């Protein structure tokens, strides 16, 4: 083959190599660009989710504030007539003739129902009353353990076990331990009520993104999707004997701590109630 032929072949091979390198460079650039687009899309998805959660928290806070004022006014207005009714029933019981069993029984019913109404009014006031936090550095596991000890009373009757899955790196941080114990007990109690006999519940903790995360996990009846947005609303309940203030008060306490609440649930598969509390909150300073 002539020198010119070898030159043409070499030139073609050079073009092929350069074309291959160009294709590889373009492919790598495309992959990098696609990865950037995916990362941006993932960030937008997370941002949108956080925005929706923040909007839901604001709406819930506004509803809590409005209904709190209404409940406080209604509760105070009810207290006086309830007191009068109870006092009148007790006076009537004293003067009614001993042999008039029907009258005595009716006065007893009146007093009992007044006490039940007063208990309900007290719960309304608990919901409406402004929360005054007393923050102090606390051991989260100790607070959870106290709540679990209370919840285990009902759990043992149904042969339900409560397991602990505590992360060892959760530091002491400022919370109102008494109020948070109430939060955990309420969630554990709900989990017990949602679980079948022989079931199990897990209390789990971990540190994530500057927060302490607490999960209360059950494998019970779960929550219908249509109810997930309303379970924290005051007076919403699916229980025949419920008032619907438990989760509303829980949400209020968590919000007051600067925390967030979320729930994941599937009907028939159970629920996960997640509480996120900021670790960098400041403890209350006693007045000097």
Extents of the domains making up the chain: 1-130, 136-278
The pLDDT mean for the chain works out to: 82
Residue 158 CB neighbours (<10 A): 13
CA distance 257 to 132: 10
**CATH 1.10.287 assigned to 1-130:** yes
**SS3 of residue 277 by DSSP:** strand
**What percentage of the chain has pLDDT greater than the value 90?**
32
Digit-coded pLDDT (tens) for 42-92: 888 877 777 777 776 666 666 666 666 666 677 767 777 888 888 888 887
Question: Which pLDDT tens digit goes with each residue over 30-43?
Answer: 888 888 888 888 88
Q: What's the residue count for the chain?
A: 288
Q: What whole-number distance in Å separates Cα of residue 75 and Cα of residue 128?
A: 9
> In terms of pLDDT, which residue wins out, 117 or 268?
268
As a whole number of Å, the end-to-end CA separation of the chain is 103
Residue range 136-278 forms a domain whose CATH class is alpha beta
Question: Rounded CA gap, 30 and 119, in Å?
Answer: 67
What percent of the chain shows pLDDT beyond 70?
Answer: 77
Pairing, β 161-165 against β 200-208: parallel
Lowest mean pLDDT among 33-47, 95-109, 182-196, 206-220: 95-109
pTM, rounded to two decimals:
0.62
């Amino acid at each position: 083959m002539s020198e010119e032929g070898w030159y043409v072949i070499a030139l073609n091979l050079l073009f092929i190599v350069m074309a291959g390198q160009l294709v590889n460079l373009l492919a790598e650039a495309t992959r990098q660009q696609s990865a950037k687009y995916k990362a941006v899309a993932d960030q937008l998805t997370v941002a949108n989710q956080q925005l929706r959660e923040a909007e839901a928290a604001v709406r819930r806070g506004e509803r809590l504030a409005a209904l709190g004022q209404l409940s406080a006014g209604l509760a105070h207005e009810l207290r006086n007539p309830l007191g009068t009714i109870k006092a009148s029933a007790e006076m009537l019981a004293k003067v009614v003739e001993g042999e008039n069993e029907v009258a005595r029984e009716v006065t007893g019913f009146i007093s009992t129902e007044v006490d039940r109404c007063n208990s309900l009014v007290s719960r309304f006031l608990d919901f409406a009353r402004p929360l005054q936090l007393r923050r102090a550095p606390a051991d989260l596991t100790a607070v959870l353990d106290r709540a679990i000890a209370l919840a285990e009373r009902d759990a043992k009757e149904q042969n339900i076990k409560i397991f602990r899955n505590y992360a060892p790196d959760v530091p002491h941080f400022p919370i109102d331990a008494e109020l948070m114990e109430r939060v955990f007990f309420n969630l554990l109690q709900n989990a017990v009520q949602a679980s079948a006999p022989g079931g199990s519940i897990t209390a789990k903790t971990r540190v994530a993104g500057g927060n302490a995360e607490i999960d209360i996990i059950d494998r019970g009846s779960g929550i219908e999707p249509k109810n997930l947005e309303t379970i924290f609303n005051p007076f919403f309940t699916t229980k025949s004997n419920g008032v619907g203030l438990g989760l509303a008060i829980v949400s209020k306490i968590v919000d007051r701590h600067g925390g967030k609440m979320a729930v994941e649930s599937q009907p028939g598969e159970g629920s996960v109630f997640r509480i996120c509390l900021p670790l960098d909150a400041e403890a209350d300073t006693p007045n000097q």
